[in-house]
Amino acid sequence: MGGEFVYNRSMQRIGKIWFLAGIVVLMGLFLFVSLPAPVEQVRIPLNGKSHGTEEVALFVPRWGWVGRPAVLQAVLYQVAPEKMILRVKMETSPDLLGSGEEVYVVQGTAPVQWAFSLTSMTPGRKIWRMWLWAGDSQGETLLLVREGTLRVLGLAGVPVFWIQVGIVLIVVLLIFTRIAFQTRPPRLESHLVNCDKINKN
């Protein structure tokens, strides 16, 4: 009986360790899926400081998730107060949504910011290309052409939201299963009595 008791306590301890390890791994996976991806900053000097512009800073997410927009931001730094028209165009691969064109009329030396939301329903590496023109009454000048890739993680056709829901359900199921096993009444040892060995007086 003593050896069996020690064995049961040891198995309970091992089960508790595996339970806690599973919860930690699942919560870590949930945080990895939920938190924003780190952003890589790329500063691109503009040759000749055309139209009073100095450089463009791009803030590119290192990865994205299926069904969740990944925001690519840009900041244009200016050194001249002249009025100008900025035209920004985003081109993407066919399986990456977010292409478009925007126009800004700016004046002064304050930085100009813009952003594009890129979304895909399939995992893999997606290609994007950004064009930037600056113009005035005399015409436009191409300032920048930048191409990059966005690595999309996840399952094809399954938005990352449902992955988060699945992780939460698994954690809840593990917790309830653990509680059910802990509250189960202890097993009673059955003792067989050999009636033939009873000493009859």
Name the pTM for this structure.
0.77
Assigned architecture for domain 38-153: Sandwich (2.60)
Q: What are phi and psi of 119, to 5 degrees?
A: -135, 140
* Count of C-beta atoms within a 10 Å radius of residue 57: 15
State pLDDT tens for residues 13-53: 777 888 888 899 999 999 999 998 999 999 988 865 556 67
Percent of the chain with pLDDT over 70: 83
Tens digit of each residue's pLDDT (9 = 90 or more) over 154-191: 999 999 999 999 999 999 998 888 888 776 555 544 44
Q: Are 67 and 158 in contact (CB under 8 A)?
A: yes
β-pair type (39-45, 100-106): unpaired
C-alpha triplet 143, 145, 148: angle, nearest 5°: 145
> Helices in 97-192 by DSSP H: which ranges?
160-182
